[in-house]
A and B are shown apart, each in its own frame.
Chain A
Amino acid sequence: MLTESEPHYRQPLLKTPFHDRARALSQVDSFIPWSGYTTVDVFTTVEQEYFAIRNATSIYDLTPMVKYRIAGAEATRYLNRLMTRDMARLVSGRVAYTAWCNDSGHLIDDGTVFCLSATEYRLCTGERQLDWLLTSAVGFDVEIEEVTEEIAALSVQGPTSCAVLKAFGLEGVERLKPSELAHFTAPAVLALEGPLMVSRTGFTGDLGYELWMRPADAERVWDGLMEEGRRRLIRPIGSRALDMARIEAGFLLPNVDFVSSGHTLRIGTDRSPLELGLGWLVDFKKGHFTGRRALLEEQRRGPRRRLVGLDIEGNEPALNALLYADRTGRRQAGSVTSASWSPTAKRNIALAMMDAPHIERGTTVWAEIYLNRELVWERRMARAQVVERPFFSPERRRATPPADY
């Protein structure tokens, strides 16, 4: 927040309300910028943090997610024209993952829409979008304002996360179904200034919740969770561990798996939701939405390329690897956008943008991986197979109520 005495040019990155707590627990002092905030990359080690997500409970500071309040009599109609999904079906108390496009059907961004009431929504996105949101608002009775700084957010994810929240005092949180949201009264001892909104959402593909609160309550919530979660091995995590989990879950990251069509400069680098495997978010049967015409045409024409999952031989992550149709590496078939060793699936996995003939499940391609052997570089052509995403989707992600630990 820009509330300290230093002028803004001396503090080019904002600090989230959790910053002091995070700094105290950071062992390697690894911070990175995210949407204008400084955030933790790694607290201790990536592996330790990753296993907190999959085996215990992780907490992750989500405050820099860009948040917009969208309210007004025509908010639903507005969102329906903006988004590729049918927002009229999103009822109060639910959250929807959705995407939005420009006129040519190219993805501007994806994000989640929280339906707070029939006339009020909250949109969470990776990047700032006010220009496009306002452009889309012409002719609609709707008000849009950015509320990123007004809302602190903490993601609590992992198999014991529900148990931690219950222990923390959120009675009935176990009844929240995936993509539902509810307001809770935190235990009186915390003396919070405002209510706590909890949604069963997340970026890990695991059982998990996201907590939305006033910045003034942030540290008290953090402290309470750390205290109650101690027995269940709660651990703060940074962006790198989350990245491993989100690749396993098959989620997209802007500027990694796609570049927003609002930012691209080169021809042919825009991506449509159909190309990104988000066709299930595109509802041609609802009313008009921006990009519909172009997407229909693309669907008629058939895909030129598609984002697919890859299972690659060996255990070296195929970071930024070029992909070829044959082992000789003469015909390029695509390129890797995200890659990781998956400790849970025990597979070497990647997300890759693949040209049309190579998008079918079971297709074999070859990944050109460069290996650093004590500064002696080796090139390896590793066999890779197009496989289904997500790579990991445990039953506990969906179970309601979740198992108690």
Chain B
Amino acid sequence: MSASESRRNAGRYDCIVVGGGHNGLVCATYLARGGRSVLVLEAAERVGGAAATQEFWPGFKVSSGAHLLHLMPEALMRDLGLGARGLRLAAERMPTTALSVDRAPLWVDAANPSALAMLSSSDAIALPKYSALLRRLGQALQPVFEMTPPRLGTDSWQDRLTLLRLGMRLRRLGRRDMRELLRIGGMCVYDLLDEYFETPLLKGALGLDAVLGTNLAPRSPGSVFTLLYRMAAGSALSVPRGGMGAVSDALAKAAVDAGVVIRTGAPVERILVHEHRAAGVVLESGEPLLASVVISSADPKSTFLRLLGPEYLDAGFVRRVGHLRARGLAAKLHLALDGLPQFSGLDVSALRGRLLVAPSSDYIERAFNHSKYGEFSEAPALEVTVPSVADSSLAPTGKHVLSAIVQYVPYELTAGDWDLHRRRLIEAVMRILEAHAPGIRQSVLAAELLTPVDIERQFRITGGHWHHAELALDQFLMVRPVPGAAQYRTPLDGLFLCGAGTHPGGGVMGIAGRNAAREVLKSRARATMSIQDGGLTC
């Protein structure tokens, strides 16, 4: 019996992972593969966090958080054996269709711009060039995701080497692309799109990808950066059979196969500190659980301010955590439909992909304007999927589910609260859907709207941001989530972060979890703690 097994049998673990979202599960799996005994504690009754499938109406299931899989690297999925553990894709390389009320829908495909050529021949020529540039720049950034961000201003060779590698990587782009990266890196996507294209419908569709899930609009500086980020992570869209929860189920299987113990329905109340080290956790039930390392996949604000508490942290650090921009600005709308929605000018194959309601850059910008003042637009931008077209397991035969990201929806309303305005927002989205898919309103059996406040409550993410913290240059790489916790370690010995709030962010990518596991395994395994339960300040 190995040392780690004997500890586990004694009810103690080397590592406790707080939160069984995708990053928590990935992290736990790699820790277990590295020889650690690992316990994952998930507050909800099922693992998965925001990569979950939920029945929101009897017989109707939907990916309640993220609804597309496109950021998780194939290598990671292969390494974890997700395919062998039952993960099947219902749709891959999903097409994107831009909807318009006054013209035919536009099939947006850089590899096949023939549909676009009918609208604008110059756009049809520009689109492959634009896509190729973004792909090249994105690929140059991609290795950044896999690395632990360097600390700045240290004497450590490791940090210098990491910075050097990053520089070399960019240098290898060549003079022209490097210059282009510097030029457009801080730009707004609105201007970039204007340089390449003339068709508003195309610009709206491409612009929406840059700002989905962010607190940016096309004219916000830095919106090219978020686009590059998305390109770096991967751009081929897919949906798993059974919804995003299937990803989590496969991840959980991989974790259990690696020896991880998963406890669901076990919300953590606080992180235990003993002798200035994380020593375990106390569940809301009052049960203490000990471990020499605690890894939190919860968002940084929850981890530091609620689970740990400012008392164990320096005041300046707490201030930085408090200043972390972590308010979500996207909502999810789920519809249970009596039949297949009929989108004007679209056949059913287009419904296997995603539909965008963002007819121009200005449309998105106008929708954003309201959110700046704590309001929401009556004409929000939408990313719509009808996952039941490709996956009949989600709805009863002949019936369908629709899942839409609604942008922009503020966490806090200036006037009134969400109880007061929930119906009005659903109504606004329904009006837009009705304009594109006449008759859809009559087929709605049930509607569920998750505002950022609901997302906060349902997925336990402070602020309800799907990346836990806004992804932007000021919260990126070595300053994500905040300096002092950007290398997955935290100021408290034995406490690590592995969630979306760390580099390289969320979006069902899993890389943060793997990077964090690497750092935990690297941290010298300290002498097993020999503290007595009674010695803890429970």
Q: A103-B317, A288-B276 are known contacts. Are A139 and B491 too (CB-CB below 8 A)?
A: no
- Which residues of A are in contact with B by a Cβ distance under 8 Å? 77, 81-82, 102-103, 132, 135-136, 138-140, 287-288, 290-293
Q: How far, in angstroms, from A136 to B317 measured CA to CA in the complex?
A: 10
Q: How far, in angstroms, from A136 to B316 measured CA to CA in the complex?
A: 8
In contact, A139 and B314 (Cβ under 8 angstroms): no
How many B residues touch A, CB cutoff 8 Å? 17
| Residue ID in chain B nearest A80 by CB atoms | B311
Least CB distance from B483 to A in Å reads 10
Least CB distance from B151 to A in Å reads 14
B472 contacts A by Cβ under 8 Å? no
Given contact pairs A139-B309, A139-B318, A140-B310, enumerate 12 new A-B contacts (beta carbons under 8 Å).
A77-B311, A102-B315, A103-B316, A135-B319, A138-B310, A140-B311, A288-B276, A288-B311, A288-B313, A290-B316, A291-B314, A292-B276
Chain B residues with Cβ below 8 Å from A140 are: 310-311
| Residue ID in chain B nearest A294 by CB atoms | B314
Least CB distance from A300 to B in Å reads 14
Least CB distance from A65 to B in Å reads 23
Chain A residues with Cβ below 8 Å from B484 are: 103
In contact, B311 and A287 (Cβ under 8 angstroms): yes
Q: How far, in angstroms, from A103 to B273 measured CA to CA in the complex?
A: 19
Least CB distance from B526 to A in Å reads 16
Q: How far, in angstroms, from A140 to B309 measured CA to CA in the complex?
A: 9
Q: How far, in angstroms, from A291 to B491 measured CA to CA in the complex?
A: 11
Chain A residues with Cβ below 8 Å from B273 are: 288
Interface residues of B in 257-315 (CB under 8 A from A): 273, 276, 305, 309-315
Q: A288-B276, A293-B491 are known contacts. Are A138 and B314 too (CB-CB below 8 A)?
A: no
Q: A139-B305, A139-B309 are known contacts. Are A290 and B314 too (CB-CB below 8 A)?
A: yes
Q: Return 14 A-B CB contacts under 8 Å, by A number.
A: A102-B316, A103-B317, A135-B318, A138-B305, A138-B318, A139-B310, A139-B311, A140-B310, A140-B311, A288-B273, A288-B312, A290-B316, A291-B314, A293-B491
Least CB distance from A87 to B in Å reads 13
Contact among B276, B309, B315 with A82 in the assembled complex (CB-CB below 8 Å): B315
Q: A288-B276, A293-B491 are known contacts. Are A135 and B312 too (CB-CB below 8 A)?
A: no
Chain B residues with Cβ below 8 Å from A82 are: 315
Q: How far, in angstroms, from A82 to B318 measured CA to CA in the complex?
A: 12
Q: How far, in angstroms, from A102 to B305 measured CA to CA in the complex?
A: 19
Chain A residues with Cβ below 8 Å from B276 are: 288, 292
Least CB distance from B4 to A in Å reads 29
Q: How far, in angstroms, from A288 to B311 measured CA to CA in the complex?
A: 7
Chain A residues with Cβ below 8 Å from B439 are: none
Listed residue (A102, A139, A140) with the most chain B CB atoms within 10 angstroms of its CB: A139
In contact, A103 and B322 (Cβ under 8 angstroms): no
Q: Mark B484-521, 1 if CB is under 8 A from A, else 0.
A: 10000001000000000000000000000000000000
Q: How far, in angstroms, from A140 to B310 measured CA to CA in the complex?
A: 8
Q: How far, in angstroms, from A102 to B315 measured CA to CA in the complex?
A: 7
Chain A residues with Cβ below 8 Å from B317 are: 103
In contact, A81 and B491 (Cβ under 8 angstroms): no
Q: How far, in angstroms, from A77 to B310 measured CA to CA in the complex?
A: 11
| Residue ID in chain A nearest B319 by CB atoms | A135
Least CB distance from B492 to A in Å reads 8
Chain A residues with Cβ below 8 Å from B314 are: 102-103, 290-293
Chain B residues with Cβ below 8 Å from A102 are: 314-316
| Residue ID in chain A nearest B483 by CB atoms | A103
Chain A residues with Cβ below 8 Å from B316 are: 102-103, 135, 290
Contact among A77, A135, A287, A293 with B315 in the assembled complex (CB-CB below 8 Å): A135
Chain B residues with Cβ below 8 Å from A288 are: 273, 276, 311-313
Least CB distance from A285 to B in Å reads 10
Listed residue (A103, A135, A140) with the most chain B CB atoms within 10 angstroms of its CB: A103
Q: Mark B302-342, 1 if CB is under 8 A from A, else 0.
A: 00010001111111111100100000000000000000000
Least CB distance from B105 to A in Å reads 50
| Residue ID in chain A nearest B310 by CB atoms | A139
Q: How far, in angstroms, from A136 to B313 measured CA to CA in the complex?
A: 10
Chain A residues with Cβ below 8 Å from B311 are: 77, 81, 139-140, 287-288
Listed residue (A132, A140, A292, A293) with the most chain B CB atoms within 10 angstroms of its CB: A293
Chain B residues with Cβ below 8 Å from A136 are: 315
| Residue ID in chain A nearest B276 by CB atoms | A288
| Residue ID in chain A nearest B316 by CB atoms | A103
| Residue ID in chain A nearest B484 by CB atoms | A103
Least CB distance from B496 to A in Å reads 16
Closest 5 CB pairs of A and B: A139-B310, A103-B316, A103-B314, A136-B315, A290-B314
Least CB distance from A294 to B in Å reads 8
Chain B residues with Cβ below 8 Å from A81 are: 310-311, 315
| Residue ID in chain A nearest B309 by CB atoms | A139
Chain A residues with Cβ below 8 Å from B312 are: 287-288
Q: How far, in angstroms, from A296 to B493 measured CA to CA in the complex?
A: 13
Chain B residues with Cβ below 8 Å from A287 are: 311-312
Chain B residues with Cβ below 8 Å from A77 are: 311
Chain A residues with Cβ below 8 Å from B315 are: 81-82, 102-103, 132, 135-136, 138, 290
Q: How far, in angstroms, from A81 to B276 measured CA to CA in the complex?
A: 13
| Residue ID in chain A nearest B311 by CB atoms | A81
Least CB distance from A184 to B in Å reads 36
Q: How far, in angstroms, from A81 to B322 measured CA to CA in the complex?
A: 17
Q: How far, in angstroms, from A135 to B315 measured CA to CA in the complex?
A: 6
Q: How far, in angstroms, from A103 to B318 measured CA to CA in the complex?
A: 10
Q: How far, in angstroms, from A132 to B315 measured CA to CA in the complex?
A: 8
Q: How far, in angstroms, from A154 to B318 measured CA to CA in the complex?
A: 38
Q: How far, in angstroms, from A102 to B484 measured CA to CA in the complex?
A: 14
Q: How far, in angstroms, from A77 to B305 measured CA to CA in the complex?
A: 16
Least CB distance from B309 to A in Å reads 6
Q: How far, in angstroms, from A219 to B420 measured CA to CA in the complex?
A: 60
| Residue ID in chain A nearest B305 by CB atoms | A139
| Residue ID in chain B nearest A289 by CB atoms | B314
Q: Mark B388-414, 1 if CB is under 8 A from A, else 0.
A: 000000000000000000000000000
Least CB distance from A243 to B in Å reads 32
Q: How far, in angstroms, from A288 to B277 measured CA to CA in the complex?
A: 11
| Residue ID in chain A nearest B312 by CB atoms | A288
Listed residue (B310, B315, B322) with the most chain A CB atoms within 10 angstroms of its CB: B315
| Residue ID in chain A nearest B153 by CB atoms | A267
Least CB distance from B119 to A in Å reads 54
Contact among A138, A290, A291, A293 with B322 in the assembled complex (CB-CB below 8 Å): A138
Least CB distance from A86 to B in Å reads 14
Chain A residues with Cβ below 8 Å from B305 are: 138-139
Least CB distance from B493 to A in Å reads 9
Interface residues of B in 153-191 (CB under 8 A from A): none
Least CB distance from A107 to B in Å reads 14
